[in-house]
Amino acid sequence: MASDMPKVLHPVAGLPMVNHVLNICQEAGAGERAVVVGNQAERVASSVMAYDNKCRVFEQTERKGTAHAVLSTSNAITDDLDDVIILFGDVPLITATTLQSARTALAEGSDIVVLGFETADPTGYGRLLVQDGELTAIREHKDASHEERKITLCNSGIMAFRAQHMLAILNEIGNDNAQGEYYLPDAVEVGRAKGLTVTAITVPEDETLGVNDRTQLSEVNEIWQQRRRKELMLSGVTMESPGTIILHHDTKIERDAVLEPYLVFGPNVTVSKGAVIKAFSHMEGATIGEGATIGPYARLRPGAVMEHGSKVGNFVEIKAAKIGAGAKVNHLSYIGDADVGAKANIGAGTITCNYDGYLKHKTIIGEGAFIGSNTSLIAPVTVGKDANTAAGSAVYKDIPDHDLAIERSEQANLSGKAKQLRERNAKRKADKK
C-alpha cells in the first residue's frame, strides 16, 4: 500500500476494510467474531474493538502462514459452535448472502466448503478441481498441468468448516514447502484424507477481490459505491447521474429524495423523504428533513439540521445550526452555532459571528424574522419573532419581537468627488508609464 497505515485499516466508503468484513459477519448472523492481528497489532485491534466491542482479537506473533494465523484463534473454536468461516480483512466486498450460502452447504452435509469464483483470466490463481460434486484439490497455478490451467474456477481463499472437525484438520497441516509456512488450502487434502466431505461453491468474482495497492483500493471502493447507489435507487431514491455521487458507509436516504449530480456525503448524514439535494453540494454530520432543499454548491457541516421544507442555496455553509421548518438561507451566507426559527428569511451575505477566538457563541433567530442582506450577527445575540434587520447592519444587541434593527453609519454624498478621484488616479497611472 506504500503507507504507514496497516492495510486493513484503509477505508472503503469511510470505513476500514476490516470493519466492513465485521459488519457483513454481523449481517450474516455470526454469533461470535474473532480477528487475527499481526502488523501494527494494537492499532488494528483498537479499530476493530471500537467498531465491534464483542469481537475477540488474537495476535499472530510469528508470520507462519494462513493456517497458522487461524490456529492462533484456537481458544475461540469451541465445541458449541456449528461452523466457522474464515475471511480476510482486505476482502471487504463479501456479502452476507454468500456467507449464508456457505453455511447452508455445511448444514446440508459438507464438512469443508471452499468459495470459488469464475474468471475470464485465471492466470496466477489456484484452480479448484471438482469431481462428482466434490472438491478434490486446490492446484496452485505454477503446479497446474496444461489441462488444469484451462479451468476457470479459482480459489478465493475463503473457507468454511464444520466446527467439530476444524482444529483437528488445522493441526495436521504441515509446512513442507519452500517457505516453511502452514497454508490453509492444504485443509482440503487433510480433510479428504480423513474421509470428510469437501465441496466448493461459486460466488461472484467481485465479492472476492482483495486489496494490495491503492489502485485496487479504488476499484473496490467504486464497486461498493455502485452497489449502494443501486440499493438506494431500488428503494425509491432518484439519482440523476449515479456515478457522480459519493456515499459514505453510513449514509441514510429515504424514498422520493432527489439527488442531482456531483454530491459528496461524508459521515453521519440522514436525508428524509422528498428532500432535494442540488448539484455540487457537500454534507457531513447533517440531518436533512422531509422536503428540504439543499444547494447547489452548499456545504452542511456537523450539527446542521434542516427541518421540514427548509432551504439552503448556493454558496451557503451551515454548521452546528438548526434551520427551522420553511426557513430560507438562499445564498452566500454562513450560519454557525445558531437556531433559525420557522419561516425566517436570511438575506444574502449574512454571517453569524460565532467565534471570539476562544469560545463559540450562539445566535437565535426567531420565527418569521427577516435578516437583511450583508447582516453580521455578532453572537451571542437574539433576533425576535417577526423582527427585521436592515441590510448592511452589524447587530450586537438583542432585537425584540416585531422590531426593526438598523446599524450603519450615515451616508454622505460628496459632490463631484468621484470625478476628481478618477482623474487623479488616471494621471498617477499615466505617470508610471
Whether residues 305 and 389 fall in one domain: yes
| Residues 6 or more apart whose Cβ sits within 8 Å of residue 406 | 389, 390, 393
Whether residues 204 and 265 fall in one domain: no
pLDDT at 408 (0 to 100):
87
Burial class from Cβ neighbours inside 10 Å (0-12, 13-18, 19+) for residue 155 reads buried
What is the spatial distance between Cα 331 and Cα 352, in angstroms, rounded to a whole number? Answer: 14
Domain for residue 427, yes or no? no
Whether residues 332 and 231 fall in one domain: yes
Whether residues 200 and 260 fall in one domain: no
Last residue of a domain, one of 183, 208, 233: 208
Whether residues 202 and 219 fall in one domain: no
Phi, psi of 116, rounded to the nearest 5 degrees: -120, 165
CB atoms within 10 A of CB 352: 26
Global confidence as pTM: 0.92
- Report the CATH number at residue 309: 2.160.10.10
Whether residues 125 and 225 fall in one domain: no
Identify the DSSP state of 31.
Answer: S
Whether residues 18 and 83 fall in one domain: yes
The catalytic residue among 68, 165, 331, 361 is 331
Domain for residue 112, yes or no? yes
pLDDT at 8 (0 to 100):
98
Whether residues 229 and 192 fall in one domain: no
Last residue of a domain, one of 175, 208, 241: 208
pLDDT at 432 (0 to 100):
86
Q: Is 248 a catalytic residue?
A: no
**Per-run averaged pLDDT (10 residues), the chain, 433 residues:** 97 98 96 95 97 96 94 91 96 97 96 97 94 92 92 96 95 91 94 96 97 98 98 98 98 98 98 98 98 98 98 98 98 98 98 96 98 98 98 97 94 93 93 85
Range of the domain at 48: 7-208
What is the spatial distance between Cα 9 and Cα 230, in angstroms, rounded to a whole number? Answer: 26
Whether residues 291 and 398 fall in one domain: yes
Whether residues 250 and 377 fall in one domain: yes
What is the spatial distance between Cα 196 and Cα 111, in angstroms, rounded to a whole number? Answer: 6
Last residue of a domain, one of 208, 236, 268: 208
Whether residues 323 and 196 fall in one domain: no
User: What total of structural domains would you count in the chain?
Assistant: 2
Phi, psi of 173, rounded to the nearest 5 degrees: -70, 130
Phi, psi of 358, rounded to the nearest 5 degrees: -130, -45
Whether residues 184 and 249 fall in one domain: no
Q: Report the sign of the C-alpha dihedral through residues 221, 159, 29, 25, in that order.
A: negative
Domain for residue 421, yes or no? no
Identify the DSSP state of 279.
Answer: S
Domain for residue 363, yes or no? yes
pLDDT at 80 (0 to 100):
87
Residues 275-295 have pLDDT tens digits of 999 999 999 999 999 999 999
Half-sphere exposure of 103 (CA within 13 A, CB side): 16
| Residues 6 or more apart whose Cβ sits within 8 Å of residue 142 | none
> Which of 87, 54, 53 is CA-nearest to residue 70?
87
Give the residue carrying C-alpha cell 510469528.
62
Domain for residue 305, yes or no? yes
Domain for residue 414, yes or no? no
- Residue 310 near residue 328 (C-beta atoms within 8 A): yes
pLDDT at 177 (0 to 100):
84
What is the spatial distance between Cα 429 and Cα 415, in angstroms, rounded to a whole number? Answer: 24
